[in-house]
Structure 1
């Protein structure tokens, strides 16, 4: 069982957006630079997030993305679902054709685990993640690294 890169990147990008939204709309280029996620990949993810009503885009100079609703009402499971991702512990992608086209002995166990993981992620809001001290420390480190890179390019 694993969550693919698409789901991980979507949650990471949304958390970055929240952490930097106090400065206005956040550009995908800035998220790309801080999180080391391809800009074209972020564009694809944010198109899906926008269609699902999780973010809105602001055009023009100083434009970027903003959350569509409060961070307390935006949950990790919604983000993963919005990018057409699922956390599936079954070996058959939930199709119930695990063993030569039929349900295997442990299908329901792994299916129940998948449901439990989704329920767990449905209870984690972006607000609860932002409140975590570890996340604040990592964001501070990333911001300092970004400032150092800007200063170095100005010196060169």
Structure 2
């Protein structure tokens, strides 16, 4: 599985909203400008995140997006599944020999474990969080 720009930029949106959690809505225009990303593309990513209940839109002159839950309650796996689909590293393993099937299942489960146990709170606090030392984050 290769995480596309959908997953990476979606994670960027969510991290920015987590950094501003409790401070009011953040417009996508601000996130796009601060991260040198296309506002139009971020708007396309916001729709599935909103439909999944991971973000909430606030209308009006001072509108934008907010997290409906605390950053510690949203995992990277939640976000990636919404934007990228199921987490499957190797497809069609049914025809592989049992040892290879077991390997691919273990690798997939390890990736799922990392994504599902890494919260937005972990990501915004990663400099001071020893549990993420050794991981490299490319966003």
| CA displacement 1:27-49 (0-9 Å, x = unmatched) | 00111111122112111111001
The match for 2:68 is 68
2:110 is the counterpart of 1:127: no
Distance of 2:85 and 2:39 partners within structure 1: 19
Distance of 2:29 and 2:108 partners within structure 1: 33
Once the two structures are TM-superposed, the CA of residue 133 in structure 1 deviates from its matched residue by 2.4
8 Å CA contact 2:18–2:71 kept in 1: the answer is yes
2:25 is the counterpart of 1:20: no
TM-score, normalised with respect to structure 1: 0.72
Distance of 2:57 and 2:9 partners within structure 1: 18
Matches for 1:1-156 after TM superposition, within 5 Å: 1-90=1-90, 94=91, 96=92, 103-105=95-97, 106-133=100-127
8 Å CA contact 1:3–1:87 kept in 2: the answer is no
TM-score, normalised with respect to structure 2: 0.79
Once the two structures are TM-superposed, the CA of residue 15 in structure 1 deviates from its matched residue by 0.2
Distance of 2:57 and 2:4 partners within structure 1: 25
Segments of structure 2 that go 5 or more residues without pairing to the other structure are 129-139
Distance of 2:95 and 2:45 partners within structure 1: 33
Between 108-117 and 122-131, the greater mean CA deviation after superposition: 108-117
Segments of structure 1 that go 5 or more residues without pairing to the other structure are 135-156
SS for the counterpart of 1:57 is: strand
| CA displacement 1:60-112 (0-9 Å, x = unmatched) | 1010000011111111100111113344321xxx2x1x6xxx62343442233
8 Å CA contact 2:21–2:70 kept in 1: the answer is no
